[in-house]
Structure 1
Amino acid sequence: MNTLDITQLQKAVGVKADGILGRNTLTAVFQKLGANPARATELALAANVHLETYSIKTQLRFCHFFAQLAHESGNFRYMEEIASGTAYEGRKDLGNVNKGDGVRYKGRGPIQLTGRANYRKYGQELGIDFENNPTIVALPSVGMLVACKYWSENNLNVFADYDDVTTITRRINGGLNGFDDRKNKLSMIKGWFK
């Protein structure tokens, strides 16, 4: 994002318009999207590092990323899926092959990482044993890292560049659950840059 984009965003979220997308601005973004102050601060600390690392730094990429995560996490209020996870029991497509895997590997983090196979894959790629310690994905800072890695691994920056909310939603959700809410959040966040 250029300085003008960042300044517009800062005005929209009510922080000093200095043109620097840093921790304070990101904290305000998370709060405006619904996170409590403590969670917003923790998410922002991680995002401040990882958005740059994973090239989520253009206006469209930023808007799509935050819209999808806000939907998945109930506006950053939930870092662990509210449902028990029993609906994922026996889902071989998620790698849930052992009894209890559905509950153990239910959605966590702002992107709601789900399934033994995903916990194994992203844990191995990030050098953290998520498979044997799945609840750590619910830590906001760890969950933000996972979200950025998932975004990158699924080439979602490319689809954000094309403003393709449908493909992004399918790659995150597996379908189009909550599609209207995702589109509404995307429109709202895009409006912050005007």
Structure 2
Amino acid sequence: MSLTPQIVAAGCGAVLSRATLFAPFMQAACDHYQITQPLDVAAFLAQTGHESDHLLFTKEIWGPTVAQRAYEPPSTKASELGNTQPGDGERFCGRGLIQVTGRRNYTLAAIGLDLDLLNSPELLEQPEHAAMSAGWFWFNNKLSALANAGDFITLTRRINGGTEGLADRQALYAAAKKAMGIGT
């Protein structure tokens, strides 16, 4: 599947200039992580589009909110994320097109992407690494099987932990399929 800026724009709900910037990197991520089947690509576009607020953000907006304060040790959430040092919550906040969050996930992504993310977590904000980290997450969480089976709800839960933003995700999925010429 060749991802044109127009397909990326439709599937991610992005303006054409952002889609043009991200299209080659998303294509590289899909190629590298074998996100190749039409339903898989459509779901990948929709989920990354929602998670990045339509390709606008590659870094979590930091408040810190009440939920984000829980990223800091000592807390159950911090422990789940592998955040062990003061400041880990903000340092390892969500980055990439599918928000990699927490010291543990940054460590795994650093190995998978061969990047020094523990010393330079901001690398995941760059379009190339933001897209590749999303492909890495997709592959390592075996999301292609869910996407190809059309199990969009379970897929959303695996990414989000729930179904937050489901209506937007589904609208993007429908737009991606339409742009790719996939019947509903």
State the TM bucket, normalised to the shorter chain.
0.7 to 0.9
C-alpha deviation, 1:185, in angstroms? 1.6
Asked if residue 40 in structure 1 is aligned to residue 27 in structure 2, the reply is no
Encode CA deviations 1:3-29: one digit per residue, 9 max, x unaligned. Answer: xxxxxxxxxxxxxxxxxx15xx1x233
TM-score (norm 1): 0.81
Is residue 7–residue 176 contact of structure 2 (8 Å, CA) maintained in 1?
A: no
Q: In structure 2, what is the Cα distance between the partners aligned to 1:74 and 1:45?
A: 19
Partner secondary structure for residue 132 of structure 1 = coil
C-alpha deviation, 1:36, in angstroms? 5.7
Is residue 36–residue 77 contact of structure 1 (8 Å, CA) maintained in 2?
A: no
Cα RMSD of the aligned pairs, angstroms, is 1.7
Asked if residue 143 in structure 1 is aligned to residue 160 in structure 2, the reply is no
Asked if residue 73 in structure 1 is aligned to residue 49 in structure 2, the reply is no
Match of 1:59 in 2: 38
Q: In structure 1, what is the Cα distance between the partners aligned to 2:169 and 2:62?
A: 20
Q: In structure 2, what is the Cα distance between the partners aligned to 1:93 and 1:105?
A: 13
Match of 1:89 in 2: 72
* Divergent runs of 4+, >3 A: 84-87
Q: In structure 2, what is the Cα distance between the partners aligned to 1:55 and 1:48?
A: 10
Q: In structure 2, what is the Cα distance between the partners aligned to 1:95 and 1:36?
A: 37
C-alpha deviation, 1:112, in angstroms? 1.3
Encode CA deviations 1:139-172: one digit per residue, 9 max, x unaligned. Answer: 0111111110110000000000111112211211
Asked if residue 159 in structure 1 is aligned to residue 146 in structure 2, the reply is yes
Q: Which one of 73, 84, 103 corresponds to residue 116 of structure 1?
A: 103
Match of 2:8 in 1: 30
C-alpha deviation, 1:35, in angstroms? 4.3
Match of 1:132 in 2: 119
Point out the more displaced range, 144-153 or 84-93: 84-93
Give the count of matched residue pairs: 171
Q: In structure 1, what is the Cα distance between the partners aligned to 2:149 and 2:28?
A: 24
Q: Percent identity?
A: 35
Runs (5+) with no aligned partner, structure 2: none
Is residue 28–residue 132 contact of structure 2 (8 Å, CA) maintained in 1?
A: no
Larger RCO, structure (CA 8 Å, separation 6 or more): 2
TM-score (norm 2): 0.85
Q: In structure 2, what is the Cα distance between the partners aligned to 1:140 and 1:191?
A: 25
| Shift in alpha-carbon separation, 1:134–1:36, aligned structure 2, 3 A | farther
